[in-house]
Structure 1
Amino acid sequence: MLFTFSVDKSAPVGKEQMIRFSATSSTGEKWAKEVKVTVSPPKHFEVANLVEAERPAGYHQEVWDAARFSSGLYVYQLTATD
């Protein structure tokens, strides 16, 4: 599988963050697999689950409303089943 993943860098935490991702098989075939995108502080538990659903190949985006979280560094993780 091939992945791309990007997050708006201009917006500080405390505002909405746009998370964009895409996934395709290495042969270019379309697929619908379970995709999960999570947010967590480094070395801490998950604080937000943005996506946990089947998604077809292609580009997708989700918004994380981080207004209720303190400012700081957060880790975004994208996983997909094969």
Structure 2
Amino acid sequence: MTYPFPASGLAVTSGHSATWTQSGANVTAVALSWNANLAPGASATIGYNGAWTTTNPEPTAFKLNGSTCTVSQERKGTFLTLCV
């Protein structure tokens, strides 16, 4: 999964259930061996801790395996995405 942070001053400090990297505003989460292949209808939960020095708007532009995802529901601090 990839997405850009929508503001400067945001950083991933640690994460779980994926290998997290950040280059500038762009964040990438790569699946681990145990959650890399999901059966149809299955899901995986990943997450990260972050830090910010400015405003902290929620990201809204996600891609999964290169395909754009539509944010189907947002809650403060939690994103549920649906990829089509």
TM-score range, shorter chain: 0.3 to 0.5
- TM-score of the pair, normalised by structure 1: 0.34
Q: Which has the larger radius of gyration?
A: 1
- TM-score of the pair, normalised by structure 2: 0.34
More strand by share: 1
